Amino acid sequence: MKLNRYTRYLGIALAFIQGYMFSFAFIDGGKPLEYMQFALILTAGTALLLWLGDQITQKGIGNGISLIIMAGIIASMPSMFVEAWNGFVTTGTLQTTVFGIIKYILFVVVYLAIIVGVVYEENAERRIPIQYANKSNSILGKQNYIPFKLNSAGVMPVIFASALLSVPSLIAGVIKNEQFSLFVNEWLTMQTVTGFILYILFIFAFTYFYTFLQLKPKELAENLQKNGGFIPGVRPGEETVEYVSKVLKRITVAGALFLSVIAGLPIIFGAITNLSSNVRIGGTGLLIVVGVALETTKQLESRLLTRNYKGRR
């Protein structure tokens, strides 16, 4: 409870700092009191959403904050498809209109295919079989194993990478230096080649960092040894740590590559088309929506199974 409380306090403090920095971008030549008022309004909105998220988590199913974020993303999807229709289907000749409809259908098909790919990736996992001393290898015909998701880090690496890459732009908006702003716009934005490469490198780095921060091979090997378990063909102790680390490194490469593709698709799509920035393919929002939907579905199924089990008793 104390950790959650301190985390919320820290989040509100960071929201105020970020809101104050954003105020310089939205208010040109304002007074210090106006910047402070702008930051306080944004911080109050953040605090309200935190409270609503906690209420949903305590009285509902799933993580409240995640559900609020998912709802906001889904609410913007209809307008995105409308803008895509207006952008592709032009009011010109019949040939141009037909070609625009074909491009719009292709856009929808690709969008749905990406959703299917994200669902597959979120459910993909590497299963390491384990055995326990003086116990049967399987219980009721089910093999014991340790599941490692292909993308154990979730969407956090993309959020960290985009936040880190946005720091120079925020600083440029605060200091109002023309040369520094020009440098940032030419080299450190996601629309530039160097900025895009840095964005992908940050995603890979944070994916590895966050994966090994959550799944600690040494701690996992120690817990497995304490419970009398072992991986067939691998000695307990240091060899187990090395084996688990090796497996995590391999699957993390695939997970980081997939995250990079999904996060980079909107940037590439925006560079090769003249559509509005609201029309996107892939992106962090899609990862959040699919991940939260799958997690909420699993919790709902678990809740229903528990209720049916209690009812039979």
Tokens of 219: 């701690």
Averaged pLDDT for residues 123-135 = 82
CATH of domain 83-312: 1.10.3370.10
pLDDT attached to residue 138: 47
- State percent of the chain over pLDDT 90: 12
Q: pLDDT-derived band of residue 310, with 50, 70 and 90 as boundaries?
A: low
Q: pLDDT-derived band of residue 57, with 50, 70 and 90 as boundaries?
A: confident
Query: Half-sphere exposure (CA, 13 Å, Cβ side) for 304?
Result: 6
Render pLDDT for 86-95 as a digit per residue (tens, 0 to 9): 888 875 566 6
> Phi/psi class of residue 62: alpha, beta or left (left: φ > 0; alpha: ψ in -120 to 50)?
left
Tokens of 68: 């609020």
pLDDT attached to residue 266: 87
How far is Cα 239 from Cα 248, in angstroms, rounded to an integer? Answer: 14
Render pLDDT for 180-213 as a digit per residue (tens, 0 to 9): 888 888 888 888 889 899 999 999 999 998 888 8
Domain layout of the chain by residue ranges: 1-60, 83-312
pLDDT attached to residue 312: 58
Which range, 59-63, 89-93, 138-142, 235-239, has the best average confidence (pLDDT)? 235-239
Least confident of 56-60, 73-77, 265-269: 56-60
Which range, 128-142, 155-169, 198-212, has the best average confidence (pLDDT)? 198-212
Averaged pLDDT for residues 140-144 = 62
Render pLDDT for 227-241 as a digit per residue (tens, 0 to 9): 888 888 888 888 989
Kindly report the number of other CB atoms within 10 A of residue 172's CB atom.
21
Render pLDDT for 296-305 as a digit per residue (tens, 0 to 9): 888 888 877 7
pLDDT attached to residue 92: 59
The pTM (predicted TM-score) of the whole model is 0.79
How far is Cα 209 from Cα 157, in angstroms, rounded to an integer? Answer: 9
Averaged pLDDT for residues 57-84 = 85
How far is Cα 252 from Cα 152, in angstroms, rounded to an integer? Answer: 8
How far is Cα 70 from Cα 64, in angstroms, rounded to an integer? Answer: 10
- State percent of the chain over pLDDT 70: 92
Averaged pLDDT for residues 245-259 = 91
How far is Cα 312 from Cα 203, in angstroms, rounded to an integer? Answer: 48
Mean of the per-residue pLDDT values of the chain: 83
pLDDT attached to residue 34: 87
Q: Is 152 exposed, middle or buried (0-12, 13-18, 19+ CB in 10 A)?
A: buried
Tokens of 209: 């960092």
pLDDT of residue 226 exceeding 70: yes
3 or 136: whose pLDDT is higher?
3
**DSSP per position, 66-87:** HHHHHHHHHHHHHHHHHHHHHH
Which range, 100-109, 225-234, 266-275, has the best average confidence (pLDDT)? 100-109
pLDDT of residue 47 exceeding 80: yes
pLDDT attached to residue 200: 92
Please calculate the CA angle 250-188-28 and round it to the nearest 5 degrees.
Answer: 135
Alpha helices in the chain (DSSP H): 2-26, 32-59, 64-88, 94-123, 156-175, 178-187, 193-214, 217-226, 238-272, 284-312
How far is Cα 294 from Cα 288, in angstroms, rounded to an integer? Answer: 10
CB 230 within 8 A of CB 240: yes
Nearest Cα residue to 115 out of 281, 237, 268, 253:
281
Nearest Cα residue to 145 out of 226, 252, 244:
244
CB 265 within 8 A of CB 282: yes
pLDDT of residue 135 exceeding 90: no
Please calculate the CA angle 155-160-166 and round it to the nearest 5 degrees.
Answer: 130
Q: pLDDT-derived band of residue 28, with 50, 70 and 90 as boundaries?
A: confident
